[in-house]
């Protein structure tokens, strides 16, 4: 049997069955007959804050997913998402990865390490240690810019702690041979901390597994259909709902629109700000907001089909203006018109794609007016916007094109 040439070790706090882009990336790399893919990760608990069924804190698990070997270390679950619980969650992964994790992966002999660096970027530290031990290059795929992300969401306000994080991030960048970024807007920020960094732009994408669609639950589909009724103009926002998504803007815009009886705003997902929106909508009698909760990823396709338009919001912030939120690619791929209250990179993409209407971040009046405007458009105009978005996705964000680029970079880094 021919020996595979490249052993790839992916290090990250989140992995299947948690729903993150790294799942599709690892599967694609694992399809190459010359690549072995290993993953060092934690026990799944995102976003509910408790362990998924079948997992517990104690005990180390080795399991397999689509031909990938997974090593799981203990973590303290996120719990209620408070600052204390998140801190314990982050540092427990760091602690156990740097101890138990290094022991578990000792026989994998990685030729290259890959970190899909969502928040927290601290998860790159065990990867740096392992890269030094095995003299293997580290490829860091940056999804959020730290410390700005934690500062702008209000998670950390102490200047001393923020300065310490900045020094740590600088250390991480300097110990990464290749830094990939999901937005070109990140490049100046990274180069400011690490002038000679090898920074490359690789946007995120979405990948649909058509086999999953044949297993839809009739009961869940009926619930979705009853919520997204055909006689309403269904404005759907899907994904995580946290401070970054500007929940106040969603609430205020919904309140402005509450007398437009045809318009219904449906939130599909969960997050730290979801309860805030639920409570405020009751207190303020904003009756045009509906909640479908968190759905399995394949059902989003069904939700998008039932929607009239898709809604994207981000809090007004210099760092968020540099971000391309993952749901934008998902929206474009869905082929539905988009209304977005965003600035910067996301706004540029929406304008270039001609897939919808954009207004400034955190401007509920402009957002409400944009929704009213698009709700009055003819079906032909809406269909054209959706087609524009889908075509732009295929041209700039196609999953397989981007994965081919990544694989070439991985092979080049090992050589």
Tens of pLDDT along 331-369? 999 999 999 999 999 999 999 999 999 999 999 999 999
Share of the chain above pLDDT 70, in %: 97
CB 277 within 8 Å of CB 251? yes
- Residue 120: closest CA among 152, 143, 99, 97: 143
Instruction: Please report, for the domain that includes residue 380, its CATH number.
Output: 3.40.50.2000
Task: Give start and end residues of each alpha helix (H) in 57-174.
Answer: 83-96, 102-104, 124-134, 148-152, 159-174
Is the pLDDT confidence value at 266 over 70?
Answer: yes
Q: 368 and 306 in one domain?
A: yes
What is the mean pLDDT of the segment spanning 103-117?
96
Q: Is residue 372 part of a domain?
A: yes
| Residue with tokens 């156990």, as numbered in its chain | 96
Residue 16 maps to a domain: yes
Indicate the pLDDT class of residue 408, thresholds 50, 70 and 90.
very high
- Looking at the structure, do residues 318 and 217 belong to the same domain, yes or no? yes
pLDDT of amino acid 210: 54
Torsion angle of C-alpha atoms 290, 291, 295, 300, degrees rounded to 10:
30
6-11 β-sheet, strand order = 61-65, 68-73, 35-42, 6-11, 112-117, 138-142, 178-181, 199-201
Give domain status of residue 76, yes or no.
yes
Please identify which residue in the block is written with the tokens 């804050």. Answer: 49
The residues near 188 (Cβ < 8 Å, ≥ 6 apart) are none
> Looking at the structure, do residues 25 and 107 belong to the same domain, yes or no?
yes
What confidence category does residue 379 fall into, taking pLDDT thresholds of 50, 70 and 90?
very high
pLDDT tens for residues 130-168?
Answer: 999 999 999 999 999 988 877 776 677 788 888 999 999
Rounded to an integer, what is the distance from CA 396 to the centroid of its chain?
18
130: which residues sit within 8 A by CB, 6+ positions away? 9, 11, 40, 102, 105, 110, 113, 136
| Residue 306, domain extent | 211-396
One domain for residues 192 and 215 = no
For residue 169, name the pLDDT band (cuts at 50, 70, 90). very high
In percent, how much of the chain has pLDDT > 90?
Answer: 79
Instruction: Give the residue from 197, 166, 204, 167 showing the smallest Cα distance to 179.
Output: 197
The pTM of the full predicted model, rounded to 2 decimals, is: 0.90
* Domain total in the chain: 2
* Residue 1 forms part of a structural domain: no
Say yes or no: 288 and 152 in one domain.
Answer: no
Do 249 and 137 fall into the same domain?
A: no
**Burial of residue 85 (number of CB atoms within 10 Å: 0-12, 13-18, 19+):** middle
Q: Check whether 378 has a pLDDT greater than 50.
A: yes
The answer on 162 and 70 residing in a single domain is: yes
SS3 73: strand
Query: Which pLDDT belongs to residue 185?
Result: 94
10 Å CB burial of residue 319 (0-12, 13-18, 19+) is: buried
Asked if the model's pLDDT at residue 80 lies above 90, the reply is: no
DSSP type of residue 122: G
Q: For 38-64, what is the mean pLDDT?
A: 92
CA-CA-CA-CA torsion sign (163, 164, 168, 171) = positive
pLDDT tens, residue by residue, 180-221: 999 999 999 999 999 989 999 999 999 876 555 556 788 888
Report d(CA 59, CA 104) in Å as an integer: 12
For residue 339, CA distances in Å to 268, 282, 318, 361 come to: 16, 25, 20, 12
Same domain for 236 and 258, yes or no, is yes
Q: What is the mean pLDDT of residues 74-102?
A: 93
Q: What digits encode the pLDDT tens for the residues 285-328?
A: 999 999 998 888 888 999 999 999 999 999 999 999 999 999 99
- pLDDT, one tens digit per residue, over 235-265 is 999 998 988 999 999 999 999 999 998 999 9
Q: Give the residue among 203, 134, 133, 117 at the shortest CA–CA distance from 168.
A: 117
Reported as a pLDDT band with limits 50, 70 and 90, residue 1 is very low
Is residue 265 in a domain? yes
d(CA 130, CA 126): 6
Confidence of residue 48 (pLDDT cuts 50, 70, 90): confident
- Is residue 267 assigned to a domain? yes
d(CA 392, CA 399): 13
347 and 261 within one domain:
yes
Is the pLDDT confidence value at 3 over 60? no
- Residue indicated by tokens 């979801």: 274
The structure tokens 């209620």 sit at 80
| 160 shares its domain with 140 | yes
Element (H, E) at 310: strand 309-313
Please tell me whether residues 249 and 322 are part of one structural domain. Answer: yes
The pLDDT assigned to 297 comes to 81
Which has the closest alpha carbon to 147: 123, 120, 127?
A: 120
Provide the mean pLDDT of the chain. Answer: 92
> How confident is the model at residue 279, as a pLDDT?
96
* Dist CA 226 CA 224 (whole Å): 5
Residues 76 and 199 in one domain: yes
């Amino acid at each position: 049997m021919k020996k595979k040439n490249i052993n790839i070790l992916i290090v990250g706090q989140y992995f299947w069955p948690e729903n993150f882009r790294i799942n599709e990336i690892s599967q694609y790399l694992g399809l190459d007959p010359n690549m072995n893919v290993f993953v060092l990760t934690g026990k799944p608990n995102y976003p509910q804050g408790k362990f998924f069924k079948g997992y517990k804190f104690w005990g180390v698990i080795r399991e397999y997913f689509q031909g990938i070997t997974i090593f799981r270390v203990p973590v303290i679950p996120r719990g209620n998402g408070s600052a204390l619980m998140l801190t314990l969650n982050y540092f427990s992964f760091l602690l156990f990865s740097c101890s138990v994790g290094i022991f578990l992966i000792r026989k994998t002999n990685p030729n290259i390490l890959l970190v899909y660096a969502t928040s927290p970027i601290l998860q790159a530290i065990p990867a740096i240690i392992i890269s030094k031990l095995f003299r293997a290059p580290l490829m860091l795929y940056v999804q959020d810019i730290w410390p700005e992300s934690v500062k702008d969401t209000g998670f950390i306000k102490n200047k001393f702690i923020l300065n310490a994080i900045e020094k740590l991030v600088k250390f991480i960048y300097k110990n990464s041979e290749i830094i990939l970024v999901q937005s070109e807007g990140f490049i100046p920020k990274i180069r400011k901390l690490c002038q000679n960094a090898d920074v490359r732009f690789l946007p995120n994408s979405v990948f649909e597994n058509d086999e999953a669609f044949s297993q839809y639950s009739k009961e869940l589909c009926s619930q979705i259909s009853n919520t997204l009724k055909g006689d309403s103009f269904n404005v759907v926002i899907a994904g995580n709902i946290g401070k970054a998504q500007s929940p106040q803007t969603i609430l205020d815009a919904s309140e402005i629109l509450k007398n437009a009886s045809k318009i219904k705003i449906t939130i599909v997902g969960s997050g730290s700000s979801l309860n805030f929106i639920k409570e405020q909508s009751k207190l303020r009698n904003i009756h045009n907001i509906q909640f479908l909760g968190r759905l399995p990823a394949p059902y989003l396709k069904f939700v998008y089909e039932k929607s009239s338009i898709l809604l994207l919001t981000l809090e007004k912030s210099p760092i968020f203006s540099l971000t391309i939120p993952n749901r934008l690619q998902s929206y474009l791929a869905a082929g539905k018109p988009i209304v977005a209250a965003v600035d910067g990179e996301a706004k540029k993409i929406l304008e270039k794609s001609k897939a919808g209407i954009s207004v400034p971040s955190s401007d509920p009046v402009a957002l409400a007016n944009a929704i009213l405007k698009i709700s009055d458009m003819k079906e032909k105009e809406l269909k054209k916007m959706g087609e524009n978005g889908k075509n732009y996705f295929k041209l700039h964000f196609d999953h397989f094109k981007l994965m081919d680029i990544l694989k070439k970079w991985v092979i080049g880094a090992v050589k």
